[in-house]
């Protein structure tokens, strides 16, 4: 009996196909199959981003400032839309909603309230021209204005299609902002949160220190640090990290007391960071080891030839050193996520 019913269904489908063509087959497929939503792959300034059907959000690094004037990168999930770079800037404009959202971690928006993004173009060679409304000129100090420029440039150059940024106001190119910040030409990434005088420096490295606004929430802060090394290099960046944050900066690191930098070697994309400890007990806690590894990984992320970090203890692997901890599986992607 079941066989006869099955044959009857098959004959009906064949008959419908003959009468109405392929369209009828598609209809039948829709009737007998369940809807299974797929993951949607969308275009984001020539970069494919995976976005969930439910949320339709994109991971985007935006820059804000804390109450002492440090610029802080924060990965935020913002609704995807065509022209995601413009949407990123809109999520940095001062508003009560943004302040309420960031207030609990102690960060503040960079772009003055009421500012509009009137236009944006991105050339094939990576030049991004952004036309702001006149409210962009309403910064309250020179420091805020400088942070605005650096924060906008760093946010936009997070996108792979943008290398430099040209500021415009109400459709016109301008040479300086209200407090004298030079925007006469396109601006590339440069110093961020410059820590010390660079007069006697031969090079600079980017070191990730930590800060807090309220003692409850912490965040990593990229700081440009001058060095006497002829060129920026892995060794000098770790030397600065393990040496601690600059005096009077109010910042600190995740390197535990009693842990010292001994050396580093890079082979086949792996940075082998050798450290010494006053006591093996210092790193027996996985959480402490993880925070230290993350701080090291963020600082080394500026070097494109490093894909992975492995911690050595006195030249030995953690297993050989008798530590029951797990090495990080990958380099950190985002400094801060909220």
pLDDT at 174: 96
- pLDDT above 70 (res 33): no
Alpha carbon distance 113, 33 (integer Å): 51
Q: Span 203-313: which CATH code?
A: 3.30.300
Q: Which of 247, 144, 254, 242 is nearest to 196 (CA)?
A: 247
What backbone phi and psi angles, to 5 degrees, belong to 249? Answer: -75, -25
pLDDT digits (tens, 9 = 90+) for 181-191: 999 999 999 99
pLDDT digits (tens, 9 = 90+) for 77-113: 998 888 899 999 999 999 999 999 998 899 999 999 9
Instruction: List the single range of 49-63, 106-120, 191-205, 220-234 with lowest mean pLDDT.
Output: 49-63
Q: What is the pTM of this model?
A: 0.82
pLDDT band at 55; cut points 50, 70, 90: low
pLDDT at 60: 95
Please report, for the chain, the start and end positions of each structural domain, with discontinuous segments joined by +.
57-173, 203-313
Q: How far is CA 222 from CA 85, 217, 302, in A?
A: 22, 17, 10
pLDDT digits (tens, 9 = 90+) for 245-271: 998 899 999 999 999 999 999 999 999
Where residue 230 falls (left for φ over 0; alpha for ψ -120 to 50; beta otherwise) is: alpha
pLDDT at 332: 95
pLDDT at 80: 86
pLDDT digits (tens, 9 = 90+) for 286-309: 999 999 999 999 999 999 999 999
Q: In Å, how far from its chain's centre is CA 226?
A: 23
Residue 39 per-residue DSSP state: P
Where is 96: in which H helix or E strand?
Answer: helix 96-103
- pLDDT above 70 (res 13): no
């Amino acid at each position: 009996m079941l066989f006869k019913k099955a044959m009857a269904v098959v004959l009906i489908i064949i008959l419908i196909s003959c009468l109405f063509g392929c369209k009828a087959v598609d209809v039948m497929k829709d009737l007998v199959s369940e809807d299974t939503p797929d993951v949607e792959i969308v275009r984001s300034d020539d970069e494919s981003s995976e976005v969930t059907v439910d949320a339709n959000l994109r991971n985007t690094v935006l820059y804000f400032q804390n109450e002492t004037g440090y610029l802080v990168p924060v990965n935020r999930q913002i609704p995807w839309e065509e022209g995601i770079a413009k949407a990123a800037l809109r999520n940095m404009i001062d508003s009560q909603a943004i302040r309420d959202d960031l207030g609990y971690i102690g960060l503040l928006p960079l772009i003055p309230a009421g500012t509009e993004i009137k236009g944006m173009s991105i050339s094939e060679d990576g030049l991004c021209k952004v036309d702001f409304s006149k409210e962009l000129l309403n910064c309250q100090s020179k420091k805020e204005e400088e942070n605005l420029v650096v924060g906008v440039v760093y946010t936009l150059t997070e996108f792979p299609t943008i290398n430099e940024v040209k500021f415009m106001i109400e459709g016109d190119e301008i040479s300086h902002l209200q407090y004298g910040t030079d925007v006469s030409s396109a601006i590339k990434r440069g110093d961020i949160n410059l820590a010390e005088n660079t007069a006697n420096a031969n090079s600079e490295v980017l070191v990730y220190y930590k800060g807090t606004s309220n003692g409850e929430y912490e965040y990593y802060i990229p700081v440009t640090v001058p060095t006497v090394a002829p060129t920026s290099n892995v060794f000098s960046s770790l030397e600065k990290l393990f040496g601690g944050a600059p005096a009077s900066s109010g910042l600190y690191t995740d390197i535990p007391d009693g842990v010292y930098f001994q050396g580093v070697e890079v082979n086949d994309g792996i940075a082998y960071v050798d450290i010494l400890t006053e006591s093996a007990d210092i790193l027996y806690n996985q959480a402490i080891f993880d925070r230290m590894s993350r701080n090291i990984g963020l600082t080394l992320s500026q070097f494109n030839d490093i894909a992975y970090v492995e911690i050595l203890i006195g030249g030995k692997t953690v297993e050989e050193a008798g530590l029951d901890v797990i090495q990080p599986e990958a380099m950190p992607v985002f400094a801060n996520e909220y």
